[in-house]
Each structure stands twice: as C-alpha cells, then as structure tokens.
C-alpha cells in the first residue's frame, strides 16, 4: 500500500497520508514519499493549492512508535524528516490546507498547524501527546502553539497532553474552522478550488510576509511588506486584478510569477 496518495484535481492536488491502520503515523517510507510528493507539487505550475488529509478515521498520530522502537537518537529523525517537512510546508509557494479528518496527535498535530489554513472535522481532536511518552513537543509545536493560542493554553496543552476538540480549537484560534464531519471533504475541496483560481505568486508572497512577521519588529516588517509589495506590483496578476476591477468583471489570474 502506498503510504502517500496524490490526486490531481485540476488546478490543485490532494495529498493523503495513507497508513490508516496506524492512524497514519509516520514511518521513514511515509516521510520519504511525502517529501517527494510535496517537492513535485511545489514546482508544478498547474498545482495552485494543496490539501493534506488522512485516510481512514485519523489525520495523523505522529511518529510511528513501533518504527521508533528503542531508538535514543531522536534528534536524527527530526533533523532528517520532521524539520524538513515543516520547512517544506511553510516554504511551499502556494497555499497548503490541512483537512483534519480525525485525531491529530504528536507531530501529526503540529504538522497540521504548520499548514496555511486548517479545517477540521467536528469529531477531530488535536493532542500534544508528547509528554505522555516523556518527549518534548516537536515539529514546531512550541513555536506554533503559543502564537496561535497564547502562552497559557500552549503550556497547559503541552504539559498535560489534553485533547482539544475541533470546535474548541477553532474558538481558541488554533485552527481556521471546524465543520461537520461529512462536510469536511466538500469544504476543503471548495476552498482549494477557490484558491487555485487566485493569484498564486502573490499568495506565496503573503505567506512570506507572515513568516517574517514572527521574528520581525514592526519597523522590519514594514520594510519587508514594502519589498514584497514591489515584487507583487510587478506580477501580471496585479495588472489583471486592477483591470478586472475597473472593468467590473471577475479577474482571470494565471498565478504565475511572470
């Protein structure tokens, strides 16, 4: 069974973590297949948005604890697999939507949070499961969580490993939206299909602006916005967007950088 399924939906693609009997926990094969798929989709001009979801009843249960065995050099797994995965998602020059169809635990939760927009089925849960096995939240969890939900909630979630349901996650600002379970694929597809018609190169610049803001002072961020706006202003989609507005018609964006 392929650990990762990739389907081209015409303008956007859906990537499915596919080890449902292990709640899509990561092993090295799944990591390698996901990296290969994301690298390919990242450079495909015709793919203008990506949906990441899980097969079966879970989204992802993090590291496959059978595969890790008694390995004590866990830093190597992070260095080889998880950290490049989070960096790949953040640097992807197009929107990445997590469609969290079920439980997202450990690194699985934080990989969802690394995505640009997180939709979750109402029955899904987010669990910082690390402390329960005497580990530290990884895959960016200690960076994403305090920024999303604030220090108090982030610390408590990491220290207790308490599950957060999708509705509460949305109320807390951890994710974009909780939707009825049956509606998740439809909502995720509609969002991806919409984003695939938008000015992709400009969306990539927006991602860069937000990534920069995390470490920047207001002054530095103003400079970054100025620099990115210079690039955006030279995009053919900017000309098309303005022209479409003036002509009172929908814009026909190519998404291309030139």
CB–CB of 112/222 below 8 Å?
A: no
Nearer to ligand T3D (CB atom), residue 138 or residue 237: 138
CB within 8 Å of 222: residues ≥ 6 apart? none
Q: Which stretch binds ligand T3D (CB under 6 A): 56-64, 89-97, 146-154, 179-187?
A: 56-64
Nearer to ligand T3D (CB atom), residue 85 or residue 232: 85
Nearer to ligand T3D (CB atom), residue 82 or residue 253: 82
Q: Considering the rule CB under 6 A, would residue 68 count as an interface residue with ligand T3D?
A: yes
Nearest distance in Å: CB 112, ligand T3D: 12
Binding mask 24-53 for ligand T3D (x = CB under 6 A): -x----------------------------
Binding mask 123-152 for ligand T3D (x = CB under 6 A): ----x-xx--x-x--x--------------
Nearer to ligand T3D (CB atom), residue 99 or residue 235: 99
Nearest distance in Å: CB 107, ligand T3D: 3
Among residues 74, 193, 244, 251, the one that binds ligand T3D under rule CB under 6 A: 74
Q: Considering the rule CB under 6 A, would residue 61 count as an interface residue with ligand T3D?
A: yes
Nearer to ligand T3D (CB atom), residue 30 or residue 37: 30
> Residue 231 is inside which H or E element, if any?
helix 218-233
CB–CB of 8/193 below 8 Å?
A: no
Question: What is Dmax (Cα atoms) for the chain?
Answer: 65
Nearest distance in Å: CB 163, ligand T3D: 7
Among residues 65, 156, 222, 242, the one that binds ligand T3D under rule CB under 6 A: 65
Binding mask 82-121 for ligand T3D (x = CB under 6 A): ---------------------x-xxx--------------
Nearer to ligand T3D (CB atom), residue 20 or residue 42: 20
Give the C-alpha separation, 235 to 137, whole Å: 39
- What is the contact surface with ligand T3D in residues (CB under 6 A)? 22-23, 25, 61-66, 68, 74, 77-78, 103, 105-107, 127, 129-130, 133, 135, 138
């Amino acid at each position: 069974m392929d650990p990762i399924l990739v389907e081209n939906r015409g303008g956007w693609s859906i990537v499915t973590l596919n080890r449902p009997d292990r709640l899509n926990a990561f092993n090295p094969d799944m990591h390698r297949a996901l990296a290969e798929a994301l690298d390919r989709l990242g450079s495909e001009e015709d793919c203008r948005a990506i949906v990441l979801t899980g097969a079966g009843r879970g989204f992802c249960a993090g590291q496959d604890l059978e595969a890790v065995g008694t390995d004590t050099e866990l830093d190597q797994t992070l260095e080889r697999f998880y950290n490049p995965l989070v960096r790949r998602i953040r640097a992807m020059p197009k929107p990445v939507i997590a469609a969290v169809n079920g439980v997202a635990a450990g690194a699985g939760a934080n990989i969802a949070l690394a995505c640009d927009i997180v939709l979750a089925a109402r029955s899904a849960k987010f669990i910082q499961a690390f402390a329960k096995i005497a580990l530290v939240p990884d895959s960016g969890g200690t960076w994403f969580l305090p920024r999303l939900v604030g220090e108090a909630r982030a610390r408590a979630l990491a220290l207790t490993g308490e599950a957060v349901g999708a509705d509460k996650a949305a109320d807390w600002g951890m994710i974009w939206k909780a939707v009825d379970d049956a509606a998740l694929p439809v909502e995720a597809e509609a969002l991806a299909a919409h984003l695939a018609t938008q000015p992709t190169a400009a969306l990539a610049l927006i991602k860069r602006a937000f990534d920069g803001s995390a470490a920047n002072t207001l002054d530095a961020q103003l400079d970054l916005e100025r620099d990115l706006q210079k690039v955006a202003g030279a995009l053919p989609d900017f000309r098309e967007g303005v022209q479409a507005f003036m002509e009172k018609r929908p814009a026909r964006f190519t998404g291309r950088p030139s």
